[in-house]
């Protein structure tokens, strides 16, 4: 099953992607985690993305597309994947469509995590305190949410027009959201069968 998770920062995409990946035996592919790992590793990619992420900007499309293409080519992604953090704009969505077409795949569903900004900000500030994340300051959070609304949120219509969008109420507890996701995924599996 090839899934894409779409929604604002703090909507629980990463948490839910981890659960979906475990239940379906497919990898959770998070560009954010991949970029943070690259920074920690200290290589060329890390040096390129660290200053971009530090101010809350998006990593350039060509760099992100290169990273995702490589990751989807690994053996563990053959049976499917849960993509989290990409695409973040229309150009990336179109690049993803082209890339999937080139490898003979399509998205089975785009799970759209709907969450009010106030809840997202509260969650992100809590995560920053709990995890000591320096990239989740109030100013950076507001900047990232503004970018999300401007560039990423319009992708909901892009995927709705392709009959791939599955809305999810993301303000509930982790278990409530996952229960809604399970129902949605059963419907997606039935549609694909």
4: enclosing H helix or E strand: strand 2-6
Which residue of the set 13, 71, 123, 164 is catalytic? 13
Number of H helices, E strands in the chain: 9, 5
Which residue of the set 71, 123, 144, 164 is catalytic? 144
Catalytic residue status for 143 = no
Which residue of the set 129, 133, 162, 191 is catalytic? 133
Check: CB of residue 155 under 8 Å from CB of residue 93: yes
Catalytic residue status for 129 = no
Q: Tokens at residue 71, please?
A: 């990751």
Catalytic residue status for 144 = yes
Which residue of the set 36, 127, 142, 143 is catalytic? 127
Catalytic residue status for 123 = no
| 165 closest CA partner among 7, 14, 18 | 7
Q: Helix-strand-coil percent breakdown of the chain, rounded to 5?
A: 60, 10, 25
Catalytic residue status for 133 = yes
Residues annotated as part of the active site = 13, 88, 127, 133, 144
């Amino acid at each position: 099953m090839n899934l894409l998770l779409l929604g604002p920062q703090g909507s629980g995409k990463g948490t839910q992607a981890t659960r979906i990946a475990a239940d379906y035996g497919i990898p959770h592919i998070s560009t954010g985690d991949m970029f943070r790992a690259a920074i920690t590793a200290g290589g060329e990619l890390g040096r390129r993305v660290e200053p971009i992420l530090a101010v809350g900007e998006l990593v350039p499309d060509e760099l992100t597309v290169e990273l995702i293409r490589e990751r989807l080519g690994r053996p563990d992604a053959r049976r499917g994947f849960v993509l989290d953090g990409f695409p973040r704009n229309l150009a990336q969505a179109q690049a993803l469509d082209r890339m999937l077409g080139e490898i003979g795949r399509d998205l089975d569903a785009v799970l759209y995590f709907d969450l009010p900004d106030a809840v997202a900000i509260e969650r992100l500030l809590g995560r920053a305190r709990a995890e000591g994340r320096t990239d989740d300051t109030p100013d950076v959070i507001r900047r990232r949410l503004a970018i999300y609304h401007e560039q990423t949120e319009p992708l909901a219509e892009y995927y709705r027009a392709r009959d791939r969008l599955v809305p999810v109420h993301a303000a509930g507890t982790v278990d409530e959201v996952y229960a809604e996701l399970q129902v949605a995924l059963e419907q997606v599996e039935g549609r694909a069968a």
